[in-house]
Amino acid sequence: MEQKWVVFQLEENAYGIDVQSVRSIERVIPITRIPNAASYVKGVINLRGVVTPVIDLRTRLGFESVEETEETRIIIATLEHGDAGFIVDCANEVVEAADVRIEPLADSKQDETNYLTAIAKGEDQLFSLLEPNRLFEEIIHA
């Protein structure tokens, strides 16, 4: 099957994650704070009866955190250890592999972040590919 990515936005930056690992995209719902967890852990939500952890992707990737807006979305991903969500500024579209060219990251960038895997370049767009499992590693604050 042809690869597709869900593309979303953090400030001016676009990121994509494999559509296969996306379970759903939710509007912001009440989040219960989890005490003593890592700073980027926003808390847990009631996702149709399942208690699901949610992280703030802005904080996780070192952006400034902002108030939520109408556009704010929680992307729920199916990961190695269960479902988990991350908050993004907005979710734009689904991009197909045919429309972009995949280029490797510059070596220096690869060392810096282990959650980016490649860059996708299209005619009028550019986004970084994210490996969502990496975002949730070491989520618990020791």
Residues making contact with another protein (CB under 8 A): 30, 32-37, 41, 43-46, 49-53, 81-84, 136, 139-140
CA distance 3 to 98: 8
Q: For residues 96 and 137, which CB has a smaller minimum distance to another protein in the complex?
A: 137
Q: How far is the CB of 14 from another protein (least distance, A)?
A: 26
Q: For residues 84 and 87, which CB has a smaller minimum distance to another protein in the complex?
A: 84
Q: How far is the CB of 30 from another protein (least distance, A)?
A: 5
Q: How far is the CB of 33 from another protein (least distance, A)?
A: 7
Nearest to 118 by CA among 3, 17, 26: 17
CA distance 33 to 68: 16
Q: For residues 52 and 128, which CB has a smaller minimum distance to another protein in the complex?
A: 52
Q: For residues 13 and 32, which CB has a smaller minimum distance to another protein in the complex?
A: 32
CA distance 5 to 141: 30
Across the chain, where does the E strand assignment appear? 4-10, 13-18, 22-27, 41-47, 50-56, 73-79, 82-88, 90-96, 100-104, 116-122, 126-130
Token representation of residue 131: 């490996």
Q: How far is the CB of 54 from another protein (least distance, A)?
A: 10
